[in-house]
Structure 1
Amino acid sequence: MVLHQYTKEFKYNVKLATPVILGMLGHTLVAFVDNIMVGQLGTAELAAVSLGNSFMFIAMSLGIGFSTAITPLVAEADGEGNLAYGKSSFKHGLFLCTVLGVALFLMVFFAKPLMYIMNQPEEVVELAMPYLTLVAISLIPLIVFQAFKQCSDGLSMTKHPMYATIIANVVNVVLNYMFIFGKFGAPAMGVVGAAIGTLASRVVMLAYLWYLMSQNLKSKDYVTNIKFFTLTKSMIKKLLGLGFPSALQMFFEVAIFTAAIWLSGILGKNPQAANQIALNLSSMTFMVAMGFSVAAMIRVGNQKGMKRFRELRRIAFSIFLLSTMLAVLFAISFLLLKDQLPKIYLDFDDANNIADTLEVLTIASKLMLIAAIFQISDTLQVVVLGALRGMQDVKIPTFITFIAYWLIGFPISLYLGMYTEYASAGIWIGLLAGLTASAVMLLIRFQYLSKRLIVGE
């Protein structure tokens, strides 16, 4: 009977999280389609897209992380029935996201010359330069889209951003086909054609989400008649106080996984390929965890607005339970299919490279064992982080994520990966240690805060 208090929330939790998961998988699909289409042009073109996107990865993590400040404020206002406060939160968030989008575009644009001192092949750099210019511009509509998305999520309208992402995928595929290969009368522009598809799809995604929200009674007043430059210092300060730490949280996690790619590259091309396979498979299951993190942020924010703190704690634990159960299923799948899943990425018909292929498979299978275990840690840390954001608690969790990833996880990855026979497995043991430390410390933080709110009722 006690368990039922948590399981009865599962249906609504899934209803909220599923569109977020599908929307995030949609973003992943854009990159997947780009890689497949550009890969038809040759390895230099594919390397150019990869190099250009490595610059975008850090910028996007900062922009998307910052935008999450909007969701808990809108969710709290929605719980209170306070439209004026909710709209003010969104408007100020939209302004800051627009400024940040422009700043990130300029940052990436002026960082382009760094490619010349990164010891990359000259041909790849020459191809990446024009690609990165257009993709950098697309940061502006992408980060502005995130502001609208977070507002929509805060109003528990998680389907609208999913629909916009689906439309963006269709636009991206069609324009890629036209401008990469020169179809339907369009010029064949190669790598630049892929950038045009990405930029156009993000503009369409933003416009379509605004249209959907402007047609919905619940969100119409939020996205129409916005007095963009009528701002208050107190609300800007509040959003910066929530957004900046949230951006750092995402940056710390993205950066340690980027460091794992770098460390794997030092070990050689085969360890790096194996690392990429395990990382790609893990990122797919992480999208599910991210969906439940957003659901936790929305529902906890609602309960905070209604000052129902016992319900807040019960609902949060129902999401922790459900997401952990799913993580266990993913972990079992990874354990059972540790030798089969990596084969999807490898070509066993290439007799000339069969030795390399078998080495990559061996390493990737070992990494899948560690990835199976950290499914649970990774899921729990991101979902609890979502609940804490819903409570507008971001500063202490930022310190927790820094300590977990960079004072615990990274030194272990560096030592075991570079100075012991564990090699690639050692790098991933460090990732596991960082994620587990983060999950444990964040859960202790949530326990402390939620109990304190109940005592103060």
Structure 2
Amino acid sequence: MLKQYTKEFAYNLRLSYPVILGMLGHTFVAFADNIMVGQLGTAELAAVSLGNSFVFIAMSLGIGFSTAITPLVAEADGAGNHKDGKSALKHGLVLCTLLGFSLFGVILLCKPLLHSMNQPPEVVELAIPYLDLVAFSLVPLIVFQAFKQFSEGLSQTKYPMFATILANVINISINYLLIFGSFGFPKLGIVGAAVGTLASRFIMVGYIWYLLKRKDKFKPFVTNFNFKNIEKKVMKKIISLGFPSAMQMFFEVAIFTTAIWLSGVLGKNAQAANQIALNLSSMTFMVGMGLSVAAMVRVGNQKGLQNFRELRRIAESIFFLTLLLEVIFASLFLLGRHWLPTIYLDVDDIANQMDNTEVIIIAAKLLLVAAFFQISDGLQVVVLGALRGLQDVKIPTLITFVAYWLIGFPVSYYFGLFSELKSTGIWLGLLLGLTASAVMLYIRFNYLTKKLIKTKSDVPSH
């Protein structure tokens, strides 16, 4: 019985590991920034968290939107139709570039909100110059996403991974030189971290384009674009797939961002602790994200073949694999919850010793909750990937809204600000929202696949 699921594990991991490493690369940029900035003090760490909270919301819309390119390219590739594949990339690039600039503009307009959000004043002061540069880095990041999703649609998951690794090396090098003013460079503090992020994202776009252009198979797709000829029909198709996907990602990222803001109301130490626990759990979440892409690609393939029993078996093997991996991560969080937060802070810093100790105590409590929500978080994103493979995007968008905003958020708000639980209360709301999302999405998947299998078996064969 189990063997029919476990025999798929090796292939699923092979398909998803470059995506996981690429996703981890994005998170690792934040991880490196956090560790380096954490050496400056808890106010600086809280400022990066506050600045990034705006960028993450915008980034979720950009990344969610760009996922529409993958199924269109995969479909064209399956049909051997180069023209449609190139058209999906070209129109995707136009839309992603416009979206990048629009989101940058929106963040600039929202900047005055920082002063009226009841956040610690010294944190706001530090966050504003950091936010300007990191917000602009959204433009190259979302353009990179268009190339990444195109590449994954052609089952080439390694190129985006190489580009992300290069971006990390550049980011960490620039951080080291500019945050601390090493080797005679100016000491810019957290603005130095923002410069590193911006530069590395521009280089990332150039590098993935270079990799694709170099290979004969991909060269015709990524060269000689005619941007004068933009078709309404293709634009509409990308938007109709991309918009619900962007909203699903937005609803989830927005609730985590709200957790950052609620923590800020509790003070800079609560906010720094929240940032540590969030950064750690977002790294393990990337494994779920990678497996979610595997689910989307494999379910999409089986849907094309109209083999719905096989589709269900393969999807459930990915859900099972995710569950096993997330249980391992949960155990690591439980065992390491007192030690992991110390990586982010200078424990020997006498001047900030009281703050640092408080941050570590709060973060350890949050990691206790994070251990359990790992499991729900991983499962909900993988089921969401399977539903995208079925091109079922509207109902899941509604499910994510209900789970995070009607179930999770009220609990976070009430227990975070009006009970003794404080930070832990905020995270209990997140746990509840993610669990509700995982359960409801699985019910949806179960219903759809059973219906497809039944419809297929009711059709008389000739």
**SS in structure 2 of the partner of residue 397 of structure 1:** helix
Question: In 1, Cα distance between the equivalents of 2:183 and 2:256?
Answer: 40
Question: In 2, Cα distance between the equivalents of 1:439 and 1:281?
Answer: 21
Question: In 2, Cα distance between the equivalents of 1:366 and 1:152?
Answer: 40
Letter of the structure 1 residue corresponding to residue 326 of structure 2: A
Unaligned runs of 5+ in 2: 457-462
Query: Cα 1:432–1:50, aligned 2, differ >3 Å: closer, same or farther?
Result: closer
More displaced 10-residue stretch of structure 1: 38-47 or 385-394: 38-47
Deviation at 1:287, TM superposition (A): 1.2
Question: In 2, Cα distance between the equivalents of 1:83 and 1:410?
Answer: 45
Q: Is 1:413 the counterpart of 2:416 in the alignment?
A: no
Matches within 5 A, 1:421-432: 421-432=420-431
Deviation at 1:86, TM superposition (A): 2.7
Question: In 1, Cα distance between the equivalents of 2:274 and 2:181?
Answer: 35
Question: In 1, Cα distance between the equivalents of 2:54 and 2:409?
Answer: 21
1:79–1:301 contact (8 Å) kept in structure 2? no
Question: In 1, Cα distance between the equivalents of 2:39 and 2:371?
Answer: 33
Partner of residue 252, structure 2 = 253
Partner of residue 100, structure 1 = 99
Deviation at 1:189, TM superposition (A): 5.1
Question: In 2, Cα distance between the equivalents of 1:191 and 1:169?
Answer: 17
More displaced 10-residue stretch of structure 1: 117-126 or 359-368: 117-126
More displaced 10-residue stretch of structure 1: 115-124 or 204-213: 115-124
Question: In 2, Cα distance between the equivalents of 1:233 and 1:370?
Answer: 47
Partner of residue 395, structure 1 = 394
Letter of the structure 1 residue corresponding to residue 31 of structure 2: F
Matches within 5 A, 1:178-189: 178-180=177-179
Deviation at 1:203, TM superposition (A): 1.3
Identity %: 70
What is the CA RMSD across the aligned residues, in angstroms? 2.8
Deviation at 1:197, TM superposition (A): 2.6
Matches within 5 A, 1:283-298: 283-298=282-297
Query: Cα 1:384–1:231, aligned 2, differ >3 Å: closer, same or farther?
Result: same
Question: In 1, Cα distance between the equivalents of 2:15 and 2:234?
Answer: 27
2:53–2:257 contact (8 Å) kept in structure 1? no
Partner of residue 138, structure 1 = 137
More displaced 10-residue stretch of structure 1: 60-69 or 255-264: 255-264
Question: In 1, Cα distance between the equivalents of 2:350 and 2:134?
Answer: 37
- Deviation per CA, 1:230-273: give whole Å up to 9, x if none: 23222222211111111111111111112222223334444444
- Deviation per CA, 1:117-146: give whole Å up to 9, x if none: 456677766655444333322211110100
2:42–2:268 contact (8 Å) kept in structure 1? no
Matches within 5 A, 1:364-379: 364-379=363-378
Q: Is 1:404 the counterpart of 2:403 in the alignment?
A: yes
Letter of the structure 2 residue corresponding to residue 373 of structure 1: F
Question: In 2, Cα distance between the equivalents of 1:347 and 1:190?
Answer: 16
Question: In 1, Cα distance between the equivalents of 2:93 and 2:321?
Answer: 32
1:334–1:368 contact (8 Å) kept in structure 2? yes
Deviation at 1:191, TM superposition (A): 4.6
Query: Cα 1:365–1:121, aligned 2, differ >3 Å: closer, same or farther?
Result: closer
- Deviation per CA, 1:4-38: give whole Å up to 9, x if none: 22222211211121111111221222223334445
TM-score by length of 1: 0.90
Partner of residue 385, structure 2 = 386
Matches within 5 A, 1:58-457: 58-118=57-117, 128-180=127-179, 191-345=190-344, 349=348, 359-457=358-456
More displaced 10-residue stretch of structure 1: 409-418 or 315-324: 409-418
Q: How many residues are matched?
A: 456
More displaced 10-residue stretch of structure 1: 305-314 or 66-75: 305-314
Unaligned runs of 5+ in 1: none
Deviation at 1:449, TM superposition (A): 1.9
More displaced 10-residue stretch of structure 1: 211-220 or 161-170: 211-220
TM-score by length of 2: 0.89
